Amino acid sequence: MADESICYLSATELGMRIAAGEVSSTEATEAYLERIARLDGNYASYITVTPERARADARQADAEIAAGNRRGPLHGVPVAVKDQFDTAGIVTTNGSTILAENVPDEDATIMSRLRDAGTVLLGKLNMSEYASGDAFRHPYGRPRNPWDTNRNPGTSSSGSGAATAAFLCATSLGEDTGGSIRGPAAFCGLVGIRPTLGLVSRHGVFGACWSMDTAGPVSRTVTDCANTLAAIAGHDPNDQQTWDVPVPDYAAALDGNVKGLKLGIVTERVHTDANDPEVRDAVLAATQVLAGLGAEVSEVSLPLIVNSSEISYAIISSDAAMLNWDIISTEQLRELDHNNQVRLLMGSVIPSRAYQKAARLRDVLRRQILGALEGVDALIMPASSVPATLIPDSAGLGTKADVITGFKGRRGFTAPFNLANLPALSINCGFTASGLPIGLQIAGRAFDETTLFRLAYAYEQATDWGERRPPGV
C-alpha cells in the first residue's frame, strides 16, 4: 500500500520533495490512485480515472528529474481536470451522455501546457451537464461536498471542488463562466481563480458563453493556485482572444507584504440582507485581518452590481443556445437534463432587443467596476451570499426561495467579474457554526492576478483556515 500521507502535501511541497528525491512521482501517483479507488464513491468527483496514463506520466517525470531535467514546480505532481477540456485519446463528456463516446484526437491547449509542465494526469473530473449551473441530473454520479456530503460542492466545476478538497488530486483545473471556479472554491474551502479573459487559452474547451468562458485552477493553497495558473497561461495562436502578454512568476511575488495596497469593500455586496449573517461577518473579519497587515480598507459603491444576475443570465442563456443549436434542433435535446432543456430553449427565443439591453447594461457595470479600480487595487466581497447549499431531493427548479437563492446567491456575487472580464479569486475565510466553509472574493484589474495572489497569500499565512480538513478525509 502506498504512503497516503503524500496526498496531504500541497502540490508545491510535493513537487519540491519529488525534485529532491525524497519521494518519487510514481509513489505519489500510486498513493492518489489508491485513495481515489477507496474514497471517491463518497464524492463522485471523477467521471474518468486514467491509471495507465497516470503511471506513464509518472515514470516519464521520474526519469526526466533523475536526469536533471526538472521542468518546473509541478513536475511529477498528480493533477485532475474538469471533463470540459479535450484530452487526446481520453473520453471527454462535457458532463453529458450525449458525448459519452467522444474521444478527441488532440489535447486542448491547456492540457498540452499541463503536460509540458510535467504533471501527471489522474483523470477527468465530474461537472454539471454542459457546464450549466442549473442542471439537476448528473449522469456520471451526483458530486458531493466533502465538508458535508448532503451538500453541493458548487457548480459547474463540481468535481474540481470535491476532488481537491477530499485530497483526491494535488491541484485541479475548472472553468468559470459565471462563477464555476469560485463557487466550488468557496463551498469546498479552497483557493480558485477566474483569470482575466484572454490570459488562458480556450482552444479545445467546450464553450458555454464565448464572451465569458475561461479556465483556471482550483487548489488547496494560494501558492499551488499561482503555480497552476502559471503553467497554463499565455498566448495561443489557436485562440484569437488570448493576449500576447508576459506571464509572471506569480509565486515569486508571494512574500506576505500587502502594506499600502488599497482595498475596496463593495457596499452593495457586503452590507445586504441577501447575505447569510455568518458570511457577512466572516468577510468583514477577513478585511480587518488584511487591514492589520497594512492594507488600506475603504468602501466603494457599484450600484448596478445588484442586477448582475439578470444581465449575466440573459447573455449566457442566449450564447449557450447559439453554441448548442445542433442539440436544440434535434432529438438530442431530450437527452439533456430538464433544467438544461428549459435554459437552452429559453435562450433560443430571447429577443435581440433584450440581448442588446443586457449587453449595454453589462458595459455600464464594467465601467463602474473599472472606475472603482482606479481608486483601489482590489475589490472585496463574498464569493457567495450563502455557504454550500443542500442537494435537492428532486428534479426541477425547486421552491421560489430555492430559485432566488441560486439566482441571486452565488451567481449575483461572482458574475459581475465575468461580465467585466476581470480576474477574481476566492479563498476560504472561515466556517459557519455548522462547519461549512465561507469564501472571500478578491477581484482586481485586468492581467493583475499577481495582486490578488499577494493579498490571498498574506491572508492565508495570517490565518489557519487552510489547515483544517473535511471530516473523514
Compute the mean pLDDT over every residue in the chain, rounded to the nearest whole number. Answer: 96
pTM over 0.85: yes
Paired sense of beta strands 262-266 and 378-382, if any = parallel
Does residue 156 have a cis peptide bond before it, meaning omega lies within 30 degrees of 0?
A: yes
3-state secondary structure (DSSP) of residue 272: coil
Residues 6+ apart with CB under 8 A from 44: 126, 138, 140, 141, 142, 143, 144, 159, 162
Paired sense of beta strands 46-49 and 120-125, if any = antiparallel
What's the mean pLDDT in 236-262? 98
Separation of CA 346 from chain center: 26
Identified catalytic residue from 156, 308, 318, 385: 156
pLDDT at position 8 is: 98
Whether the CB-CB separation of 178 and 415 falls below 8 Å is answered with: yes
Beta bridge partners of 194: 424
> 405 falls in which pLDDT band (50, 70, 90)?
low
pLDDT at position 248 is: 98
Residues 6+ apart with CB under 8 A from 195: 214, 216, 229, 233, 423, 449
Let me know if 45 is a catalytic residue.
no
Count of helices and strands (H, E) across the chain: 16, 11
Let me know if 259 is a catalytic residue.
no
pLDDT at position 2 is: 83
pLDDT at position 136 is: 76
pLDDT at position 460 is: 99
Of the candidates 247, 251, 361, the residue with the CA atom closest to the CA atom of residue 310: 361
Identified catalytic residue from 25, 160, 180, 385: 180
Residues 6+ apart with CB under 8 A from 124: 46, 47, 48, 50, 80, 81, 82, 83, 87, 90, 91, 92, 93
CATH class of 4-467: alpha beta
Residues 148-197 pLDDT 10s? 999 999 999 999 999 999 999 999 999 999 999 999 999 999 999 999 99
Let me know if 408 is a catalytic residue.
no
Residues 199-226 pLDDT 10s? 999 999 999 999 999 999 999 999 999 9
What's the mean pLDDT in 436-447? 99
Whether the CB-CB separation of 48 and 124 falls below 8 Å is answered with: yes
pLDDT at position 1 is: 72
3-state secondary structure (DSSP) of residue 54: helix
pLDDT at position 137 is: 80
pLDDT at position 411 is: 83
Paired sense of beta strands 191-194 and 215-219, if any = antiparallel
Identified catalytic residue from 10, 24, 82, 112: 82
Paired sense of beta strands 120-125 and 424-431, if any = unpaired
Residues 292-307 pLDDT 10s? 999 999 999 999 999 9
Round to whole Å and give the CA distance between 160 and 316: 22
Neighbours of 222 (CB within 10 A): 28
